Structure 1
């Protein structure tokens, strides 16, 4: 008996050679070589000769289909014990293979079902054909959306294959049998992972990899594919260290053993890039993904599924980098490609469309995002309602967008569907379960548990961030935090908002301190403690999942609560111990969870705090003062406000200052409600993240201005502004630091550049002259100096706050150096190519003297280079 190469080629680009004869013992009452059926064997050989032709057009032609049809018809007439001859089923299974290759999946499924039914009484006489039929059926079922059914069929095929190999002598097993085993296990693993059964998927993919090694050897292109696919499965099961090992193995073997233009080389690069991205090394991953796309373009072309996956994968790395505008066209191109290849109801096209929808939301196009999400759901549901993977991708974004658009009924229905589908996942992670519970509470009639569900979700997000060493947030986590902040703003729950904002700020702090944290954990004792905390936190996450599942199905809640409480207690003990013994590591990783009461108590006299946090599609504001708290969402969306920040920074040139953008930003951030909460505070501590970390808050005018004048009502005239990265550096904390025997150097309140009109003024002085004075910065420096004690303090203010004043001073004796002045980003002003701090300009030079010293190492005169 012969089998086609093409079914396996389409599935995994793997070869299934012809003439793969069955090695199993024939059924007792039937022989596949019975001479009475010689005519059928002749028809079988004719059909396989056409199907296995090197002429692809001939192999897939109507002539080949007619040859299989003749075999089918003749075998139906040739009875065996009253049943049609099993070659009737073999013919239909090969027709099914042709259908699947042609993209005719419904026809492929019908032919596979009919062929398997005819072959079933004789399966042991045609074991390879039987397993091939099951493999085609399972693959097509998954493609059409019946993932649960596909998993069952492929599990049946895997069990049969294991039994077949066990009863067949090793010298009778040829490579094609191992390859078929690998194909079946691969398809089974893919179906399991779509159902969220990741632990089982790892086992199935390992079986596929081992069979591939047996079939092709350890260094073949096919085996390289098995390595990186196994790495992907390990990563989904949170086994990141093992995953990176196999991903790098795939790239190393591909580099040493196959041509650079081979598709497996591109896919190995892509798999490693995706793994690096998912473990927080996204910028590093971009190079691997871009190289993979270039190779795919040259080898398989832009009309292949592999190319579309490459586009989609690159887009998914750009999303958490907040490069939404770059990611969206990649997703839309992939969506068109998937749909053109797989048909209008392609699950992959629906997934690409859902990614594009989330990018549209992040860019402020809510209506388009909702339309795309609904289209993605409808596309999959048209094939089957059993594919829950797309719902897990869509609902966490769609439901908040529907609520914001005022579509309460649609949001309620979507929340119910999300909760129902999440409960059905075999090993549903805690975060989706908690999201589903919170969104159900938000859209339901009884909102008494909304705060509780939101606090549970923010706790899970905090735990999730703590078990990963990359410190970066995914766009899913950022969107979940956005939803929590929306709930907090609606309920004016400042404590909840502070918890969510602390995760956003802590992520930025941890990213900035990554190298510091890595140096700290070089201490073996701390490294062991951190790993133990992470392991216990993962155990807590599993306990959270079981509790949430119990709550969702209203069964076993008491036992799940008890288990969760016991694990949580162990985690808390470990966290407290590490914070006590290694406070620097805690600070480097974003600090401890802030307490609203302690934060308010730590505010100084007439001091207030304002957090400005872009989340996913919104920007949230939290004001805290002695008089109260307030949480708001800015009226403009995140993308529009980030664009305004960029416009303002780009306008800081002699050509002009974008007063309109500056005042719009002021009015969006300092709303009447926020100003009322800040009250009569004179000092404002600002905690910004994202683009707002580079916003010159002091330059925001408090009312519209037509031109900059000495009387422009800059915000710095209202508040002495202190910008800090997170919520932990309270005055009490600073007081404790200052109480030690430390020396303090403060530099600030520099002279302005407005008076410099001479020809020897430093390049860029015209732009610098538009910067306002900072009268509040001197008060800020003196306030900090008071905490250290004047005997341990040196202040350089006014004319002394200059580059020369710093160059001539030995700085080694100062434990703390504070600059209270304007900070500039490289390129935002003419003559300022690198980040800089603005200091006092040098006085006009006498005629005949030169400007900056030719030995100067800091760029520009009157500004100190950062770094």
Structure 2
């Protein structure tokens, strides 16, 4: 019997199962028995039709009739009192046609009957037997019996392994290996749905190996096996192996497959989705965008394949907060799904809901409300059973209705959301907690609102802890936005601090991603981290059980007691990890802050202000001597972020957008916030997102017509210190003592281009991505860096202040990685880097923030002339102060940049007390002035924030050219705690 090549192609995309025990073929039976030649003729005719290159003919009624004639004739022909096995072969091929046509119940019935007829003769028709098992298993899974289908597929795989083992290699053809690949593929898919990911990996590996045997290592079909194997490895948390196979698929597709073949675009898409999953979303965009461009050109837009590509790209853009880019993709997908699947397409409803959530983030609330309601109506018009759309819609719709003043609609929606969430089997803790809080928030008496909000905050905090990359999903960010809105309405400072700590911690963890990866390479730490994460997963399950008990008002006391035991276990594990590995905890965003401890840790003349863009809004938390206040800025997140970007874009040596600066000041420093800050003279600011790139010092306290030496900048009101997160306790090193301080200056590096000087070629600074290639420094790009003629002068001026016996300079060729690494840095109280700093808000992979040093004289392992953030983090620094007098060493270049670029974070992590860093490329003479004056002030005993404040004000009053303009004096920030 010949194997159906059509079935080979089709089964590549299926999830299949396997059979029950079978009887051996009777020894007297022969497939070539001349008495049955007529049956074999009928079989050949049916196969010829089924394998026709004309797809319409192969799936026609004529083909079905041919199989039915074979079945009828074989049923009348008896072998040992049983129908001839070709009756079963005919039914199995009819079941294949049923499955292709989407008639799964018919396919299941026919495959089951066909296998029963074929079972006594299975060894005589091994291919048909395994094909029947595959079809039966697939449709069993498709109809919801995943466990049963997986068992069938396991039996099919076992039988196939035996068939391959006992058949001589020269008797095995391509079709046999292809069927083996298809069965293993389907088994892997079923195992994945059951959460048995380790077994799924092995099954998919077998599928891949069989596909290589059938089609060779470079075929388009095999490339599909590579990226499917990568996906399975990723689900099993074997990310490094997954990436290697995903990249292999892309490389093979690039070298061996026409770009019009579906495997080409799918390989790009698979790698892009894997990179996104492992926290490298920006890096993934190129692959996903290329995949969509190829799909648009080759298969067109009238396919589900294309629409899912649009939706995948949109979902990657959402966590990057690129909502304006994501929304059009979702709306195009929505239109495409509706065009293909009909007006009530569930996929179109999901795309519409995604687009609406992006619209809310962009400030289009009223439009988004109607879109969310339309998404709900569309799905429910098609099927009353498809309720999961509510999990995407209600968490966005309800807060939007509340903000729009539509309280009754919000209350009704919240009640429906709570009821639907209770009906979900094994609902995760997050939607249960979210539904409970939204129900309490919209209730007329708001009973239990604070308790349910605190519970949701804990679930969100634990969920963020489980993410190794530190990223928040847009659902988590929207949930935190809701918590902050509740905190602002109820003036619950502790709740606001909880939610803000998750937002800030996410940014810190993203900035320190590579640092954390380097640390967790320690097996002991890795084991401890996984132990804590496992316990947090147990806590999430306990949360889910408690929330379900509360929702149904059954067994609440028992669920609460069980959760308390698990929660105590988690807290003990967290505390032990923080005690034994404090640097890991700092790199991951810090411990949960406490509002009381935070207030106690403020000095007598200090206050704290957090400025946090969440999802829809920007939230403010002021903590002063007399209390705390939570506010939501009157401008939405999108509008206020756009204003910050407008101000940053307007800054030049000649001026800036004064109206934008004043509007930002008015949004943040409201009367209520100023009253809470009180008479504090030093302000600790905790900003995230776009506000990490905002030079707060230059905000004018009242409208100004022109800039001069007396402009009322915020720096006149407050000495400002910036923190990436919420540190408790006053700085143990708030002052620098002049006595016995030693100074180390590194900079004015030798040029990559000419081998002399501090860079000889001009040109604009580019993002750090431009200076890396294939995991290392790009020498050509580094040679294009513009010169820093004042860096040597700056280093020498500061060194002179300390005196020759207390100052060391590493300049020119000596400013290299080897010289720095070989030096004991512990004696130095002040370390100054005067060189280029490379940062970006969207660096991925090995592309890290870095300081440019001199290239090594000869090829040296581990040295490339770039001191990266993860290399800095491995250093041991005891300096009270590290000064990064380099371009762009504060935050990244856009509103989505991680907190303070990761470069400043790395120095803090390495042990530095405080850092002086810059927001944008700094004029050399201004940098030297501020650096020297700040060090002088600190050495006189001034608090460092005050020393920087006085240095800035002195520069403003100086006679240096343009010094009153904030472009010259405002980029400097003090980063501490």
The answer to whether the superposition gives a TM-score over 0.5 is: yes
Change (3 A) 1:505 1:165: same
The residue aligned with 1:9 is 9
Q: Distance in 2 between matches of 1:39 and 1:413?
A: 70
Contact residue 742 and residue 816 of structure 1 kept, 8 A: no
| Partner SS state of residue 623, structure 1 | strand
Aligned partner of 1:122 in structure 2 is 117
Gaps of 5+ in 1: 17-22, 100-104, 142-147, 746-800, 846-850, 853-859
Q: Secondary structure at 2:731's aligned position in 1?
A: helix
Counterpart Cα distance in 2 of 1:640 and 1:375: 26
Change (3 A) 1:169 1:729: closer
Give, in angstroms, the shift of residue 649 of structure 1.
1.9
2: CA distance, partners of 1:864 / 1:678: 24
Q: Take 1:191 and 1:379, find their aligned partners in 2: how far apart are those partners?
A: 30
Q: Secondary structure at the match of 1:605?
A: coil
Q: Distance in 2 between the 1:864 and 1:411 partners?
A: 45
Residue 316 of structure 1 aligns with which residue? Answer: 315
Q: 1: distance between equivalents of 2:499 and 2:891?
A: 28
The residue number in structure 2 matching 1:640 is: 639
Counterpart in the other structure of 2:848: none
Instruction: Give, in angstroms, the shift of residue 476 of structure 1.
Output: 2.8
C-alpha separation between the residues in 1 aligned to 2:661 and 2:321? 23
1:48 lines up with 2:50 in the alignment: no
1 CA distance for matches of 2:43 and 2:335? 40
* Matching residue of 1:696: 695
Alignment partner of 1:599: what SS?
A: helix
CA contact (8 A) 1:502 1:726 kept: yes
Q: Provide the secondary structure at the position in 2 that maps to 1:633.
A: strand
Moved more, 280-289 or 261-270: 261-270
How far apart in 2 are the matches of 1:352 and 1:562?
A: 41
Matched, 1:733 2:735: no
Whole-angstrom CA distance in 1 between matches of 2:970 and 2:607: 30
Change (3 A) 1:158 1:398: farther
Determine the structure 1 residue equivalent to 2:242. 246
Larger deviation: 293-302 or 645-654?
Answer: 293-302
* Higher mean C-alpha deviation, range 483-492 or range 676-685: 676-685
Matches within 5 A, 1:435-450: 435-444=434-443, 447-450=446-449
Offset of residue 475 of structure 1: 2.5
CA contact (8 A) 1:205 1:229 kept: no
Mapped to 1, the partners of 2:525 and 2:321 lie a distance apart of: 33
Find the aligned partners of 1:383 and 1:323 in 2 and give their Cα distance.
32
Task: Decide which of 834, 858, 861 is 2:921's aligned counterpart.
Answer: 834
1:673 aligns with: 672
Distance 1:175-1:423 versus aligned 2 partners, 3 A rule: farther
Aligned to 2:748: none
Other-structure match for 1:93: 95
| Cross-structure match for 2:455 | 456
How far the C-alpha of 1:615 sits from its partner, in A, is 0.9
Q: In the superposition, relative to structure 1, how do residues 221 and 543 fare at CA in structure 2: closer, same or farther (>3 Å)?
A: farther
Q: Give the drift of 1:94.
A: 4.8
Distance across 1 between alignment mates of 2:972 and 2:107: 71
Residue pair 1:659, 1:705 contacting (<8 A) in 2 also: yes
Report if the CA contact (8 A) 1:132-1:180 is conserved: no
Distance 2:660 2:340 in 1: 46
Distance 1:631 1:826, change over 3 A: closer
CA shift in 2, pair 1:530/1:37, >3 Å: closer
1:726 CA drift (Å): 2.1
* Cα offset, 1:820, TM superposition: 14
Residue 760 of structure 1 corresponds to which residue in structure 2?
Answer: none
Is 1:539 paired with 2:535?
yes
Is 1:149 aligned to 2:144, yes or no?
Answer: yes
Contact 2:608-2:685 within 8 A present in 1 as well: yes
Structure-to-structure mapping, 1:544-559, within 5 angstroms:
544-553=540-549
The C-alpha deviation readout for 1:131-177, integer Å capped at 9, x for no partner, is 455366457x5xxxxxx736367447536635865896854697656
Structure 2 CA distance for partners of 1:571 and 1:655, relative to 1, 3 Å: same
| Equivalent residue for 2:256, pick from 253, 256, 259 | 259
The Cα of 1:2 is off from its aligned counterpart by 6.2
User: Following the alignment from structure 2 to structure 1, what is the Cα–Cα distance between the partners of residues 221 and 415?
Assistant: 43
Distance 1:183 1:391 in 2: 36
Tell me how far apart the structure 1 counterparts of residues 500 and 367 of structure 2 sit (CA, whole Å): 28
For residues 826-860 of structure 1, what are the alpha-carbon distances to aligned partners after superposition, in whole Å with 9 as ceiling and x for unaligned?
Answer: 999xxx97256765389889xxxxx99xxxxxxx9
User: For each residue in 1:386-411, what CA deviation from the matched residue of structure 2 results, as whole angstroms up to 9, or x when unmatched?
Assistant: 55664444443344334433455554
Shifted more, 157-166 versus 682-691: the winner is 157-166
**TM-score normalised by structure 2 residue count:** 0.66
Matching residue of 1:363: 362
8 Å CA contact 1:345, 1:382 repeated in 2 = yes
Structure 1 residue 305, shift from structure 2 partner:
4.4
Q: After TM superposition, give the deviation of residue 361 of structure 1 in Å.
A: 2.1
Q: Is the 8 A contact 2:516 2:584 kept in 1?
A: yes
Partner of 1:776: none
Q: Is the 8 A contact 2:535 2:569 kept in 1?
A: no
Map of 1:704-715 to 2, 5 A cutoff? 704-705=703-704, 708=707, 713-715=712-714
- Give, in whole Å, the separation in 2 of the partners of 1:608 and 1:390: 44
More displaced stretch, 64-73 vs 627-636: 64-73
Number of the residue aligned with 1:270: 269
Match of 2:840 in 1: none
Partner SS, residue 256 of structure 2: coil
1:213 to 209, 219, 242: 209
Separation (CA, whole Å) in 2 of partners of 1:586 and 1:132: 49
The answer to whether the Cα contact below 8 Å between 2:89 and 2:118 also exists between their aligned partners in 1 is no
SS of match in other structure, 1:501: helix
> CA 1:445/1:403 → structure 2, altered by over 3 Å: closer, same or farther?
same
Cα 1:65–1:163 shift into 2, 3 Å: same
Closer, same or farther: CA 861–655 of 1 in aligned 2, 3 Å: closer
In the alignment, structure 2 segments of 5+ residues that lack a partner are 17-21, 122-127, 744-792, 808-827, 831-878, 895-918, 931-954
Q: 1:618 — aligned with what?
A: 617
Give per-residue Cα distances to partners, 1:266-293, cap 9 Å, x unaligned: 5344334323322223333334444555
1:643, distance to aligned residue in structure 2 (A): 0.5
Secondary structure of 1:634's counterpart equals strand
User: Does residue 1:200 correspond to 2:187, yes or no?
Assistant: no
**Greater relative contact order structure (CA < 8 Å, 6+ sep):** 2
Q: Distance in 1 between matches of 2:392 and 2:715?
A: 44
SS in 1 for 2:631: strand
Match of 1:635, SS state, is strand
Query: Could you tell me which residue of structure 1 aligns to residue 774 of structure 2?
Result: none
What CA deviation, in whole Å up to 9, does each residue of 1:72-104 have, x standing for no partner? Answer: 4896799769999768855753543553xxxxx
Q: Which moved more, 1:215-224 or 1:48-57?
A: 215-224
The Cα of 1:229 is off from its aligned counterpart by: 3.0
* Residue equivalent to 1:65: 61
578-587 or 537-546, larger mean C-alpha shift:
578-587
Q: SS at 1:210's partner residue? A: helix
Q: Secondary structure of the equivalent of 1:464? A: helix
Match of residue 503 from structure 1 = 502
For the residues of structure 1 that align with 2:958 and 2:710, how far apart are their CA atoms? 25
Tell me how far apart the structure 2 counterparts of residues 33 and 546 of structure 1 sit (CA, whole Å): 63
Structure 2 counterpart of 1:134, from 133, 136, 141: 136
Name the SS of the counterpart of 1:9 in structure 2.
helix
Preserved contact between residue 922 and residue 968 of structure 2 (Cα < 8 Å): no
Q: CA contact under 8 A between 1:366 and 1:401: conserved in structure 2?
A: yes
C-alpha distance in structure 2 between counterparts of 1:15 and 1:625, whole Å: 60
On the 8 A contact 2:398/2:413 being kept in 1, the answer is: yes
TM-score using structure 1 length: 0.73
Distance 1:410 1:183, change over 3 A: farther
CA contact (8 A) 1:502 1:727 kept: yes
1:465-504 to 2 correspondences below 5 Å: 465-504=464-503
Distance (Å, rounded) in 2 between the aligned partners of 1:361 and 1:372: 10
Report the secondary structure of 2:399's partner residue: helix
In the TM superposition, residue 438 of structure 1 has moved relative to its aligned partner by 3.0
How far apart, CA to CA, are the structure 2 residues paired with 1:673 and 1:477?
A: 28
Contact 1:158-1:184 at 8 Å conserved across structures: yes
What is the number of residues matched between the two proteins?
764
The verdict on how the C-alpha distance between 1:415 and 1:736 changes in structure 2, with shifts beyond 3 A counting, is same
Check conservation: 1:40, 1:74, Cα contact below 8 A.
Answer: yes
- Whether 2:602 is the aligned partner of 1:603: answer yes
